[in-house]
Structure 1
């Protein structure tokens, strides 16, 4: 996860968002940008191609892998279960997973949510074949990086453990629980692993640093119900810009979570090393001159996505590219902080 450095952004007076993007984005990558304030989209546009071989342009309805932005859905699902009375974030993981080794008996659900459980980042590559039970066994047998609650260590594995807890507590598959309790109430019809029935041409092809096609996300090894357990719960959810706006709209109101649950979701709990940010539940939180921003990015070797919300005035932006890196030509990570904060500023200005 990258650090969103606090940067002063001064939007040109009246500059249209389309003009800002045209002068900021390099020529070549494909992707989509959406900005909004409250329940209104300010700007949404695709740029470049979602599929070069087919000549398919990127649009606001193109489906992308949102990668680690998935973690906020996992965190929201845990809080939904808490409001349903099915668990508490203060519960030790043994309350839901059964006996655990002595060195991990102090780990709580809260520690997993805040990356302070002391678990390693991963057990293997995203697309390695790994079952839920083998993932849990590996997590419980792993060497602790620190004592529970002592230090922030970003852990994809910890969020896969949370996905397993969601399944065990709810009796539903991870994606099914999200679909029924988060996505459907939010009006998100194009978000998930396998439940949405996308047309294949709607899903963006990803491209590597040499410009070679890496296929669509589900062209890699997946189980019948989504990715295997190195990725499930911590990444791999597919979505569109419009659905990510709908998620923002749902979090602005009370559609999916109570006010108390949302307060927990966005509370900065764990200071992040070498950063002005702290980690909440599935979100990084940064205090700026314009108030508090909650954000998260997601990336792999090919794509990059960033999702940010201003908690004081309801401005949001989501931008994603299916070709984030090109040898000697562009690296969208270099643009990420300024582009994200610049989009928020311009959405704020355009919204009045």
Structure 2
């Protein structure tokens, strides 16, 4: 029986820590630490023996201890507004693709869980010493300040946090709405309504501004009832569309500030026995997968969520490499009209 086998047997029910691995492998505790951290050279034979012993003992290095030693956790947090919106999983995929090459793990949190849950997550992220946070939610309040005070690198997605001294990625939300309205006008529509998002933050504010700017440029006047706010959900779009149908004057086309609300609006129209686009045309925003699957297929403005996620990851990796020495950076992603059958 080898000395290594004997050492493994003597571990028994003892706590499996670095010292236990060192004893079983017949090396020093320092050597085991060097194998784990990779910061100091260890001979190939010794490294393989230590790794084999760790595997046989079921030893897992302490995450927090390593983070303390390295001043890096190889972890990035992503805070999104609503994980049930297909836009955000696509964004998360792009972020993960960007940072994977640097062996970064992405922690995903849904800010829709509420203020207290968000506070708890941010506190945990700080305690875990996450290397950076990508914020794709505009309603974090003081939590942004807490992350900045902790010295954590931040990247914002969207224009909601664009006034802060942090890197950010955005689409041109005002132009997105303007282009959609102009497309509806090109199709012969002058009675163009909007189902917008909640007007307490972005991108709803900018998309409403773009809608109004386009109407002004096109010299189109519409009644105030043509502006209805939804809540970014399919149900919200359905209720908003019903409000438009109940108004004294009915629009012939509706710009919806995201695809989920546009799909909800389509459901309301079909339930009312109306045809899309013959009776009322619809254009959404995002180009989520479902927009091509509904019937009629939804015309929309494509906002490349994966590209936004990759850009956010690239900015964050750049910030981690450069520290605070580099100037604030902004990446503007390009949108495009996707013409299908609802308009």
Structure with the higher helix share, 1 or 2: 2
TM > 0.5: no
TM-score w.r.t. length of structure 2: 0.23
**Largest Rg, 1 or 2:** 2
TM-score normalized by the length of structure 1? 0.23
Which protein, 1 or 2, shows the higher relative CO under an 8 Å CA cutoff with sep ≥ 6? 1
